[in-house]
Amino acid sequence: MSWFYLFIAALFEVGWPFGLKVAVTSSHKVLWIIFAIIAMGLSGVFLYLAQRHIPIGTAYAIWTGIGASCTFLIGVLIFNDALNLMRILGVLFIIMGVIFLKLEG
């Protein structure tokens, strides 16, 4: 169950940068900032639950790795962020690190 909690925590980890980015471009700034704050809180709660059975270093690295990779994809797909070879390689290295940590943990 801890790995499920960690996955949910990572999904909420994506919610707060998404909410803040939308707040920058939206006329509903306060609503999206509140969304971001709630996502932060829920991400922390689920990370706490995950760390009851997953080592802190493994949990934190996977949490941030999934969050960073998914946020990168959202940036490219939704916000038209730049996509080039170096950025792709950077995210692939993050994903490989997450996979290695999962295999060990």
Mean pLDDT by 10 residues, the chain (105 residues): 96 96 95 98 98 93 92 96 96 90 75
pTM: 0.86
Q: CB-based burial of residue 75 (10 Å sphere; 0-12 exposed, 13-18 middle, 19+ buried)? A: middle
Domain count, the chain: 1
Q: Please give the structure tokens belonging to residue 4.
A: 């499920």
Tell me which residue has tokens 């949490």. 63
pLDDT of amino acid 105: 60
Residue range(s) defining the domain that contains residue 7 = 2-104
State how far the alpha carbon of 90 is from the alpha carbons of 28, 30, 74, 82, in Å.
33, 33, 15, 13
CB atoms within 10 A of CB 76: 15
